[in-house]
Amino acid sequence: MSLTQSDIGRIANLARLELSSAQSETMRSQLNGFFDIVEQMNAVDTTGVEPLAHPTAVIDHVSLRLRPDVVSEPDQREANQKSAPAVERGLFLVPKVIE
């Protein structure tokens, strides 16, 4: 399993990261080094094994708690927008979204 430059480009794009060609190359070789140690996972026979999404599910029934349908969050726009990069009239501003 060997990642190519094109793979790196595609993944970086999906993750909205921008890598220079030097960074891309470094990333590629580091990830390939990493995936070498991942290969050993393929050999493990996991037939019939359920994935463990929630750790304590091994010993306990883990199920989603449901809360009552009550509104209890007041308007805290100012506090919530304290660290916003660009706000106008309460709206978060971004470069135009073209559909």
Binding residues among 66-85 for other proteins as defined by CB under 8 A? 66-73, 75-77, 79-85
Provide the 3-class DSSP secondary structure of residue 6: helix
7 binds other proteins (CB under 8 A): yes
The enclosing H or E element of 87 equals: strand 87-88
CA distance 29 to 35: 10
25 binds other proteins (CB under 8 A): no
CA distance 35 to 12: 17
Considering only residues 49-68, where is the footprint of other proteins by CB under 8 A?
Answer: 49-60, 62-68
9 binds other proteins (CB under 8 A): no
What is the rounded (10 degree) CA torsion for 72, 76, 82, 84? 80
| Binds other proteins by CB under 8 A, chosen from 5, 17, 21, 25 | 17
Query: What is the nearest approach in angstroms of other proteins to the Cβ of residue 37?
Result: 5
CA distance 33 to 27: 10
> Closer to other proteins at the Cβ: 21 or 92?
92
22 binds other proteins (CB under 8 A): no
